[in-house]
Amino acid sequence: MTDDLRQLKDQSRYDFTTEVAYAHAVRPGLGEDIVREISAVKREPPWMLEFRLKALQVFLRMPVPTWSVDLTALNFDDFTYYMRPTEKKAGSWEEVPAEIKETFDRLGIQEAEQKFLAGVETQFDSEAVYGALKREWEEQGIIFVDMDTAVRDYPDLVRAHIGTVVPVGDNKFAALNSAFWSGGSFVYVPPGVEVAIPLQAYFRINAQGLGQFERTIIIADEGSKVHYIEGCTAPSYSRQSLHTGVIEILVKRGASARYTTIQNWSRNVYNLVTQRAKVEAEGSMYWVDANLGSYKTMKYPAVVLSGPRAHGEIMSIAFAGDGQHYDAGAKAIHLAPATTSTITSKSISKGNGRSGFRGLVRINPGATGAQAKVACDALLLDPYSRSDTYPYLEVHEDDAQVEHEATVSKISEEQLFYLMSRGLSEAEASSLIINGFLAPFVKELPMEYAVELNRLIQLQMEGSVG
Amino acid sequence: MAESTLEIRDLHVSVGGKEILKGVNLTVRRGEIHALMGPNGSGKSTLSYTLMGHPHYTVTQGDILLDGVSLLGLTPDERARRGLFLAMQYPVAIPGVTLQNFLHVAVSAQRGYGEQARQQGDSRIQARLMPMGLFRKELDEQLKRLQIDPLFLRRYLNEGFSGGEKKRAEILQLALLRPAFAVLDEPDSGLDIDAVRIVSEGVNRLHAELQMGLLVITHYQRILNYIQPQLVHIFYKGQIVQSGDASLVAVLEERGYEWLEKEVGG
């Protein structure tokens, strides 16, 4: 079998659509009528509708950002802002419709669940259709539900937190999400509770031209510990898709939260995401972020270190192949004394792919003794690929320690020759070198995800070699 | 049955338009040990890289044959899979790739696991690899024989390795890849006397076990006290200028390389 055929075969595992009967879909395009329709279909309380309507006004006022990836071809009226695949949410695997099961089977989700999932919130298009939460979590008082359920069952918690870490007007896409959000997860971990097994959510876009606007809120109460994992795969479409998620995380005093994403959207998705965590005194936040898919991505996971000795880490990788452009990065905002942050970014570009890193470290007045470290490494696979680094350092305290390192390297001919002289094909040799480059990141992933990531990298590589 | 040979015929090689090898002729039969001795800059390493198929070296004339089949036009991995091995003088570092992981991938490639998976259209990573249990068993045995601490396997390939560690890692690869012919380029450079002994014992044992054909490339005679060649070739200005038995080593030791200038000319 030729490499091309094999690659097609491999990619088909990720690129497929399943015919699904949609229970409800709004007309394509934007408008107040659509916001009202979504809110009505979801039977939301009036405060939620108001939140959405205000957000729509903010969205309409704000200009499309021009400082990052080129968005001039993005037309908001091309997308459908709400589709719901089934009328009612399934409570067990048996109740999940056959077509959706088939999609999950092809993705291997059920198998994965058997192996290591303790509970899964799966978002199929705009709605969570399947959720199983372990009894022991309920006993511990942990809440892990889709956002619609949270609005209905925990309205006070949602109302008190939505838009507090990522304000509606933070950026145009956060405003868009606030107006049209659908799905996403709500997690609350009570004080002192440690969630032993990661909470996992799979997100899928399955309808052509469907915008997906998940809204996720995670609250780690004082002294608690939680790890949330989001893995994304998406089928291919002929038209462009839009994903603008908003993730808000509140890490209270002494708590620790980790959020892991493996993003593999199909190559026509605009992925414009706002992820931010507010970290109180002595709390820790870890963003672990892998980007392999999508057409264009803007994504800057952020930590706002608001209490003394709060700690934030942002570890990310991006692999931009032909036609892809990432403007990804990280932000660390130090507001309090003795706060610490590290930003580690690794990017790979091949073909005419572009992978940019935009990192902001701000040490505000009053953040005495703050320490921040930024390291970004770029690996270029051929002469046409491109990597840009935009570091922004704003330091307002004299005793702050801020370090910044950046490297750009190429796969050397000597490395390839050495590995090939041991019997490795050129593609195998390149993959091994890339795996090595990414090793410090992969170590941060649970084993199953490390395997999946290596697999995706191999697919990405084989597209370029041979 | 035809004899198994590595044959170099009238080999001319250029780098960047400059001719470095000017007609090398040499035949190594399986089971033989040849030494190629010469001063720095004589083209010894060019010969070893060319044999393995490094893309920087252009063969302008002549041929390299393994068991009568030309290797020219084959990539380094294809040459490796046909049974050729080069222990390099300066092995490069591959950061982030552990020695164990590398060995697993390399042994699997060499033994055809990857090729088999490709042919069957099986694209799973594990399908391309030799089963871990089997691999570990072989690996542990070789580690013991070469007196290598298993902790060494967790380090990144050649990264921060001392000279001695690099050479041992090369010989460990030789032991696991089990080639028919091996070129050892300065196998003792950077080694203390104990390490020379361990490395050369390993090479001698493998030579006996596999009936390998060996070409030992060296500037100094020291390693040849441990790995004893049947045939010695003196290499000078891109050519073999003299061949003989092991007694040539003593001549070189006594006279150095300066006399070549006079006898062979500039």
Q: Hey, what are A334's tokens?
A: 């130090």
Is A34 a residue whose pLDDT tops 80?
Answer: yes
Phi and psi based region of residue A115 (left: phi greater than 0; alpha: psi -120 to 50; beta: remaining): alpha
Query: Could you tell me if A455 lies within 8 Å of chain B, comparing CB atoms?
Result: yes
Lowest mean pLDDT among A87-101, A159-173, A200-214, B119-133: A87-101
- Top mean pLDDT of A122-136, A439-453, B168-182 is at B168-182
Nearest-by-CA chain B residue for A413: B55
pLDDT of amino acid B10? 98
Cβ of residue B88 closer than 8 Å to a chain A Cβ: yes
Residue boundaries of the structural domains of chain A: 17-411, 412-466
Among residues 34-73 of chain B, which lie with CB inside 8 Å of chain A?
52-56
Structural domain boundaries enclosing B136? 94-157
pLDDT band at A294 (very low <50, low <70, confident <90, very high): confident
Residues B197 and B146 in one domain: no
For residue B116, the model assigns a pLDDT of 74
Instruction: Provide the pLDDT confidence category of residue A304 given band limits of 50, 70 and 90.
Output: very high
Give the contacts of A196 (CB within 8 A, at least 6 positions apart): none
pLDDT of residue A114: 32
Domain identity same for B47 and B86? yes
The beta-carbon neighbor of A421 closest among B52, B96, B123 is B52
Q: Which residue has the tokens 């003196």?
A: B234
CA distance A283 to A304: 11
Residues B204 and B246 reside in one and the same domain: yes
pLDDT at A11: 43
**CB-closest option in A421, A425, A432 to B86:** A421
Q: Rounded to whole angstroms, what are the CA distances from A341 to A289, A344, A401, A443? A: 16, 10, 10, 19
Same domain, residue pair B183 and B232? yes
Q: Are residues B86 and B106 in the same domain?
A: no
> Does any domain span residue B168?
no
Q: Is the pLDDT of residue A311 over 70?
A: yes
Same domain, residue pair B151 and B215: no
Please indicate whether, in this complex, the C-beta atoms of B77 and A432 are within 8 angstroms of each other. Answer: no
Q: Among A352-356, A456-460, B13-17, B178-182, where is mean pLDDT lowest? A: A456-460
Q: Where residue A351 falls among pLDDT bands split at 50, 70, 90?
A: confident
Tell me the pLDDT of chain A averaged across its residues. 82
The larger pLDDT score, comparing residue B220 to residue B118, is at B220
Does residue B87 form part of some domain?
yes
Percent of chain A beyond pLDDT 90? 47
Chain B residues closer than 8 Å to A6 by CB? 118, 121, 123
- ipTM value of the model? 0.95
Whether the predicted pLDDT of A31 surpasses 50: yes
Distance from CA of B154 to the nearest CA of A (A): 13
User: How many Å lie between the alpha carbon of A379 and the closest alpha carbon of chain B?
Assistant: 13
pLDDT at residue A126 in the model: 39
Say if B95 is an interface residue toward chain A (CB within 8 Å): yes
CA-based nearest distance A415→chain B, Å: 6
Least confident of A20-24, A150-154, A176-180: A20-24
Q: How confident is the model at residue B251 (pLDDT cuts 50, 70, 90)?
A: confident
Q: What does the DSSP assignment read for A381-397? A: -STT-EEEEEEEEEE--
- In this structure, is residue B79 part of a structural domain? yes
pLDDT of A399 reads 95
Instruction: Give the mean pLDDT of chain B.
Output: 91
Residue A124 has pLDDT above 50, yes or no: no
For residue B222, the domain's CATH number is: 3.40.50.300
Give the pLDDT confidence score for residue A2 in this predicted structure.
40
Residues 384-443 of A with CB under 8 A from B: 412-415, 417-426, 428-429, 432-433, 435-440
pLDDT > 90? residue A182: no
Mean pLDDT is lowest, of A96-110, A303-317, B3-17, for A96-110
Q: Number of folded domains in chain B?
A: 2
Decide which of B111, B127, B157 is a domain's last residue: B157
Our CA-based measurement puts residue A382 at a distance from the nearest CA of chain B, in whole angstroms, of 17
State the pairing for strand pair A284-291/A311-320: parallel
Report if residue B200 sits inside a domain: yes
Residue B158, pLDDT > 90, answer yes
B52, part of any domain: yes
Of A421, A428, A439, the CB nearest to B96: A439
Binary contact (B97, A9; C-beta < 8 A): no
Q: How many CB atoms lie within 10 A of CB A23?
A: 13
Beta bridge partners of B34: B215, B231
Confidence of residue A94 (pLDDT cuts 50, 70, 90): low
Whether residue B22 is found in the same domain as residue B151: no
Chain B residues with beta carbon closer than 8 angstroms to that of A425: 77, 109, 114
- Could you tell me if B131 and B250 lie in one domain? no
Q: pTM of the full predicted structure?
A: 0.80
